[in-house]
């Protein structure tokens, strides 16, 4: 009986592995959407793509990504803060990362990026990035 179950399970796994949205180019295991890349936003090499939640046709609809990283919250926060500042983005409020979480927003013209970093699974951090146009 187990042999028959495997015969049905393996094709289903391969079929599901092929599903999902694939746009952009891979950097550090993450396939960033074109709208995100076109804004020249940081592409964190120490993260893997968990989910493209939203990939609208324009920035009015926005891009929402969920990434996962083994790096600690403070390292991830420092990376994004430094990279966004170097790219000319500003932060309306300066937030301090804790061991388990960080949330901030970056602004540039009529565009903004909201970012959260959360320690949800023990050793892994979840990074959410939401790029929108006002």
Residue 32 lies in a domain: yes
Whether pTM exceeds 0.85: no
The CATH number of residue 123's host domain is 3.30.310
Which domain range does residue 41 map to? 23-133
Residue 59 lies in a domain: yes
Q: What share of the chain is helix, strand, coil (3-state, %, to 5)?
A: 25, 35, 40
H-helix segments, the chain: 2-17, 34-38, 73-86
**pLDDT tens digits for range 22-68:** 333 444 455 789 999 999 999 999 999 899 999 989 999 999 999 99
Helix (H) or strand (E) holding 33: none
Q: Which residue has the higher pLDDT, 127 or 123?
A: 127
Distances from the Cα of 40 to the Cα of 33, 35, 109, 113, angstroms: 11, 9, 15, 12
Residue 15 lies in a domain: no
Q: How far apart are CA 54 and CA 52, in angstroms?
A: 6
User: Is the per-residue pLDDT at 8 higher than 90?
Assistant: no
The answer to whether the beta carbons of residues 36 and 52 sit under 8 Å apart is no
């Amino acid at each position: 009986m187990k042999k028959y179950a495997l015969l049905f399970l393996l094709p289903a796994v391969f079929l599901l592995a092929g599903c999902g949205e694939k746009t952009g180019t891979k950097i550090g295991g993450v396939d960033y959407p074109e709208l995100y890349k076109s804004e020249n936003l940081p592409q964190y090499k120490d993260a893997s793509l968990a989910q493209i939640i939203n990939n609208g046709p324009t920035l009015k609809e926005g891009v929402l990504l969920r990434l996962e990283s083994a790096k600690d919250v403070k390292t991830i926060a420092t990376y994004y803060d430094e990279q966004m500042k170097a790219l000319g983005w500003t932060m309306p409020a300066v937030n301090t990362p804790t061991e388990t979480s960080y949330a901030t927003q970056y602004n540039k013209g009529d565009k903004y990026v909201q970012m959260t970093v959360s320690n949800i699974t023990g050793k892994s951090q979840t990074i959410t990035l939401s790029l929108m146009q006002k």
